[in-house]
Amino acid sequence: MKPSHPPADLFHASGWLDAGCRPPQRLPELTDAAIEYVAHALGHPVYVRWTLTALKRGCPSLADAKREHPAVFALLLDHDAAVEYWERGRLRVEPESSAPSAATVLERVLRQHRRRFRLTAADDAPDGPRRSGTRPAKTPCCSPPAWRPRGLRAPGASRMR
């Protein structure tokens, strides 16, 4: 039996912990801030809404935009906005009208990376219950990554014998 998931409009990113850094940190409350945090932590885009203006702003010319983002550029010729989002290990691009919401994509990504991001109750967090005046971290901490191969040590780490 599959666990029930809250609807996208009831999804709160602040209920998730980033266990990949020490000490574990809560994700930001706002969906956009949480998407930015997760994208920075994972090293790839999670959810990006593209318009022709945003595409032109990021590239010096339309020819460069077409070369760098061909799928997005093709969709923007027919639609007002396109959404590029991460799903099952790859980026997908769809018109905004048929793409999933940002909260849905964020929840899927967090569940896919459940070894790093953990859903917790408010009292399970290392910093205790969340107070309304506290501010979450804006970017992930830079602790040694868990994916480092066994033979490699952090710079400056002494060998224990």
Closest CA to 107 of 3, 19, 6, 33: 6
pLDDT per position as a tens digit, 58-72:
888 889 999 999 999
Using CA atoms, how far apart are residues 82 and 84, in angstroms rounded to an integer? Answer: 7
Binned at pLDDT 50, 70 and 90, residue 4 comes out as very low
The proportion of the chain whose per-residue pLDDT surpasses 90, expressed as a percent, equals 49
In the structure, what pLDDT confidence band is assigned to residue 21 with cuts at 50, 70 and 90? confident
* pLDDT tens figures, 72-131: 999 999 999 999 999 988 999 999 999 999 999 999 999 999 889 998 865 554 554 444
Q: Where are the beta strands (DSSP E) in the chain?
A: 16-18, 25-26, 47-51, 81-87, 90-95, 117-119
Binning pLDDT at 50, 70 and 90, where does residue 144 land? very low
pLDDT of residue 150 exceeding 60, the answer is no
Computed over every residue of the chain, the mean pLDDT equals 78
